[in-house]
């Protein structure tokens, strides 16, 4: 192969990578129409700036969580503006010095840094982000799950919603105000409970259409010289593609798909597990993966490993990247031993001559491993050896070191598909948490479809709306029980023109009550999103449950028939029958391991999954899967 310049390599690589991500079978689908948005160069420049802003805001909030895990109170405080505010409605802290002191006292027991025997996981999940019309401020809604404790002393849960205001200063984004709304808390021994008999609703900062418009329309910016606009667009899309790669790694690890994981590595890639070993090359990686278990899940085996809070840095030449995240493990065997774990991971990623991103190295740093029965206050559960110091800045991107030659409009349209599809998918979770069926239905496209759990598929926005009111009534959330639908680990496949996307998400659901311990639901969403009249909408929603467990017994004690109790009576279904069947399982199958569909092939090898989910209008019979 002839040598290529950085600009030539980058353009070819991104276009090949984007081409490999095009949705199979969605172009010209019957009954489907998307509406592309046209932009001039000045608008494209503003769009590039805004799409980068969304990525850097997520990075900023993820950094908060990583710094908390490492006990870096000063770094956490410096993520705020000089007059930044943290509040939970009862306590209010303002200014960097006061914030650092508050964090040191409440999270670190008054100590600088985090003692080796302490755990301080602050997981920020499910963002819905909206930028102001001028692109200089933003607001985000997030879930937080806190897993904290000290060896031999305590282990605790807490969680709630943050509404966070961000502003852009001269060098990047900072937090102006962070308002925490607690929803549940409790000790590990007793389980979490709702913080009040009726936890108050947290007002939305967005409408369904605003959630579907993460990037302001009609704004103009300064057009950079030369090929800087195209180069910036390439790096912006690359930041999302590397997160896709790591999300795929996590989804494959859940199912012990060792060959698919090995395919994601470079030929000389390395896997290192702290305290266990280091392996290199494809065969070595396959050997190392056996530390998680044998290939493919056996009946009764659980290996859920959500990949959370990615912090990304893209090299200026677009050929390498770093990603750091946190993995929370829920593992073990039905009726046997089960475990919690928490691991900090550092990925080095490289883009090959074929334009595809691969994992060059993965280093895993275990921070906690605890038997479910004992929890993380047990001796030896919290690992004293922390991960290497995180040096990533608030900025995901550096100035490109090459002149881009690609089509900036197309690349930015594909990049926006990541933000639009994730925003509306996450907004859906917040609306259904509150039994807000109008808000939920208004997220769907005119001809969008939705699977209603245990019943079937409803096609068309108004049919979706009617199915929700028929099933759940019109009273909103009442009583002490809450279902908290957290969406994590997005894998997004945009179409070539960026007007539609498939998005795979993990359901990490916490259920909470006031007088009894909570419970969990785990599952996989396979959603479709489209750009309709300039607004991102949900075009399809498929949810397959994996397991439902109560806190007392965990996943070891799951009753295989328990989830069937949620099924409605046949006479109630008959009042508003579905338009098509479910295309996956009806009830959570665990301890059985049911087939799991994927909308994407392996992003490196192209291997098709056993159950491939093509673009759908919702009418396909289940047996054709």
CATH number of the domain encompassing residue 558: 3.10.450.50
**Token pair recorded at residue 274:** 């702290």
Percentage of the chain exceeding pLDDT 90:
83
Confidence of residue 225 (pLDDT cuts 50, 70, 90): confident
Judge whether residue 2 has pLDDT over 50: no
Asked whether residue 491 falls in the same domain as residue 451, the answer is yes
**Token pair recorded at residue 171:** 């060098």
Confidence of residue 406 (pLDDT cuts 50, 70, 90): confident
Query: Phi and psi for 283 in degrees, rounded to 5?
Result: -65, -40
**Could you say which DSSP state residue 385 is in?**
-
pLDDT score recorded for residue 32: 47
Residue 393 lies inside a defined structural domain of this protein: no
Confidence of residue 452 (pLDDT cuts 50, 70, 90): very high
Residue 392 lies inside a defined structural domain of this protein: no
Write the burial class of residue 79 (CB in 10 Å: 0-12 exposed, 13-18 middle, 19+ buried): buried
Asked whether residue 299 falls in the same domain as residue 172, the answer is no
- Over residues 30-47, mean pLDDT: 73
Asked whether residue 483 falls in the same domain as residue 366, the answer is no
Which residues have C-beta within 8 Å of that of residue 294, sequence separation ≥ 6? 256
Q: Residue 387 is inside which H or E element, if any? A: none
∠ CA 488-491-496, nearest 5°, is 145
Each residue of 130-183: pLDDT tens digit? Answer: 999 999 999 999 999 999 999 999 999 999 999 999 999 877 999 999 999 999
Residue 9 lies inside a defined structural domain of this protein: no
Judge whether residue 208 has pLDDT over 90: yes
Each residue of 348-386: pLDDT tens digit? Answer: 999 999 999 999 999 999 999 999 999 999 999 998 777
**Token pair recorded at residue 300:** 């009764």
Give the residue from 182, 211, 240 where a domain finishes. Answer: 211
Q: Residue 382 is inside which H or E element, if any? A: none
Percentage of the chain exceeding pLDDT 70:
92
More reliable by pLDDT, 303 or 225: 303
Confidence of residue 548 (pLDDT cuts 50, 70, 90): very high
Residue 533 lies inside a defined structural domain of this protein: yes
Each residue of 393-405: pLDDT tens digit? Answer: 666 788 898 988 8
Judge whether residue 37 has pLDDT over 90: no
Which residues have C-beta within 8 Å of that of residue 38, sequence separation ≥ 6? none
Each residue of 231-241: pLDDT tens digit? Answer: 999 999 999 99
Residue 573 lies inside a defined structural domain of this protein: yes
Residue 219 lies inside a defined structural domain of this protein: no
Structural domain boundaries, residue 520: 22-27+32-36+407-624
Give the residue from 165, 182, 211 where a domain finishes. Answer: 211
**Cα(158)–Cα(184) distance, rounded to whole angstroms?**
6
pLDDT score recorded for residue 282: 94
Asked whether residue 452 falls in the same domain as residue 586, the answer is yes
Query: Phi and psi for 363 in degrees, rounded to 5?
Result: -115, 130
Asked whether residue 261 falls in the same domain as residue 349, the answer is yes
Q: Work out how many domains the chain is built from and give that number.
A: 3
Asked whether residue 240 falls in the same domain as residue 182, the answer is no
pLDDT score recorded for residue 425: 98
> Quick check: helix, strand or coil at residue 16?
helix
Chain centroid to CA 66: how far?
16
Asked whether residue 181 falls in the same domain as residue 245, the answer is no
**Could you say which DSSP state residue 218 is in?**
S
- Helices assigned H by DSSP within 220-348: 228-254, 258-263, 281-289
Confidence of residue 227 (pLDDT cuts 50, 70, 90): confident
Rounded to a whole number of angstroms, the CA Rg of the chain reads: 23
Confidence of residue 39 (pLDDT cuts 50, 70, 90): confident
pLDDT score recorded for residue 33: 52
Give the residue from 178, 211, 244 where a domain finishes. Answer: 211
**Cα(165)–Cα(159) distance, rounded to whole angstroms?**
19
Residue 390 lies inside a defined structural domain of this protein: no
Please provide the average confidence, as pLDDT, over all residues in the chain. 92
pLDDT score recorded for residue 13: 40
**Cα(484)–Cα(475) distance, rounded to whole angstroms?**
18
Asked whether residue 236 falls in the same domain as residue 197, the answer is no
Asked whether residue 483 falls in the same domain as residue 579, the answer is yes
Residue 556 lies inside a defined structural domain of this protein: yes
Asked whether residue 233 falls in the same domain as residue 180, the answer is no
**Cα(248)–Cα(172) distance, rounded to whole angstroms?**
29
**Cα(544)–Cα(542) distance, rounded to whole angstroms?**
7
Query: Phi and psi for 137 in degrees, rounded to 5?
Result: -145, 165
Asked whether residue 355 falls in the same domain as residue 496, the answer is no
**Torsion from C-alpha of 418, 361, 349, 426, nearest 10 degrees:** 10
Query: Model's pTM, two decimal places?
Result: 0.94
Cα end-to-end distance, the chain, whole Å = 41
CA 117 → CA 12, 68, 152, 339, 376, distances in Å?
Answer: 49, 15, 9, 19, 10
**Token pair recorded at residue 261:** 């994981």
pLDDT score recorded for residue 602: 98
> Quick check: helix, strand or coil at residue 15?
helix
Which residue do the tokens 């199958």 mark? 589
Cβ of 113: how many Cβ atoms within 10 Å?
Answer: 13
pLDDT score recorded for residue 64: 97
Asked whether residue 511 falls in the same domain as residue 609, the answer is yes
Judge whether residue 36 has pLDDT over 80: no
pLDDT score recorded for residue 387: 82
pLDDT score recorded for residue 405: 83
């Amino acid at each position: 192969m002839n040598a290529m310049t950085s600009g030539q390599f980058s353009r070819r690589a991104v276009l090949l990578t984007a081409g490999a991500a095009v949705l199979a079978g969605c172009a010209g689908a019957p009954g489907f129409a998307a509406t592309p948005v046209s932009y001039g160069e000045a608008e494209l420049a503003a769009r590039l700036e805004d799409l980068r802003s969304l990525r850097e805001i997520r990075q900023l909030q993820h950094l908060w969580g990583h710094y908390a895990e490492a006990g870096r109170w000063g770094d956490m405080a410096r993520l705020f503006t000089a007059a930044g505010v943290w509040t939970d409605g009862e306590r209010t802290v303002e200014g960097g010095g006061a914030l650092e002191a508050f964090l040191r006292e409440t999270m670190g027991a008054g100590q600088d840094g985090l003692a080796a025997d302490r755990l301080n996981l602050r997981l920020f999940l499910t963002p819905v982000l909206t930028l102001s019309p001028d692109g200089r401020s933003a607001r985000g809604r997030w879930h937080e799950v806190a897993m904290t404790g000290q060896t031999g002393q305590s282990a605790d849960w807490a969680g709630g919603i943050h509404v966070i205001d961000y502003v852009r200063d001269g060098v990047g984004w900072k937090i102006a105000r962070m308002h925490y709304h607690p929803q549940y808390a409790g000790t590990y021994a007793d389980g979490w409970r709702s913080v009040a008999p009726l936890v108050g609703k947290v007002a939305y900062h967005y409408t369904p259409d605003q959630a579907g418009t993460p990037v302001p329309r009609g704004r103009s910016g300064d057009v950079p010289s030369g090929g800087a606009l195209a180069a910036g667009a390439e790096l912006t899309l690359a930041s999302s593609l590397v997160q896709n790669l790591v999300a795929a790694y996590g989804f494959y690890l859940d199912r012990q798909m060792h060959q698919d994981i090995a395919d994601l590595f470079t030929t000389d890639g390395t896997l290192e597990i702290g305290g266990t070993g280091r392996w290199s090359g494809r065969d070595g990686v396959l050997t190392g993966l056996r530390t998680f278990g044998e290939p493919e899940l056996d009946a009764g085996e659980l290996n859920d490993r959500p990949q959370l809070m990615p912090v990304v840095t893209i090299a200026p030449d677009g050929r390498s990247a770093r990603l750091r995240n946190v993995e929370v493990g829920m593992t073990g065997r039905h009726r046997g031993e089960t475990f919690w774990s928490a691991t900090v991971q550092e990925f080095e990623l490289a883009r090959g001559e074929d334009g595809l991103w691969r994992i060059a190295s993965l280093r895993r740093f275990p921070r906690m491993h605890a038997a479910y029965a004992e929890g993380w206050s047990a001796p030896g559960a919290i690992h004293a050896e922390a991960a290497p110091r995180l040096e990533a800045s608030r900025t995901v991107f550096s100035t490109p070191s090459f002149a881009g030659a690609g089509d900036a409009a197309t690349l930015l349209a594909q990049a926006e598909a990541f933000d639009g599809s994730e925003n509306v998918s996450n907004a859906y979770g917040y609306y259904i948490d509150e039994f807000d069926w109008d808000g939920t239905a208004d997220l769907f496209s005119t001809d969008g479809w939705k699977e209603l759990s245990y019943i079937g598929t409803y096609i068309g926005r108004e049919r979706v709306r009617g199915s929700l009111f028929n099933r759940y009534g019109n009273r909103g959330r009442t009583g002490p029980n809450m279902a908290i639908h957290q969406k994590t680990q997005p894998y997004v496949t945009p179409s070539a023109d960026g007007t539609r996307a498939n998005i795979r998400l993990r359901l990490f659901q916490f259920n909470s009550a006031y007088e009894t311990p909570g419970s969990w639901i785990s599952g996989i969403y396979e959603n479709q999103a489209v750009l309709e009249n300039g607004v991102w909408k949900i075009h399809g929603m498929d949810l397959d449950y994996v397991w439902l467990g109560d806190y007392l017994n965990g996943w070891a004690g799951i009753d295989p028939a328990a989830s069937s109790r949620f099924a409605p009576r046949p006479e109630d279904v008959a009042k508003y029958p579905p338009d098509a069947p479910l295309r996956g399982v009806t009830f959570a199958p665990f301890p059985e391991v049911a087939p799991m569909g994927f909308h994407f092939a392996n992003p490196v090898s192209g291997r098709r999954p056993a159950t491939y989910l093509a673009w759908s209008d919702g009418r396909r019979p289940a047996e054709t899967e």
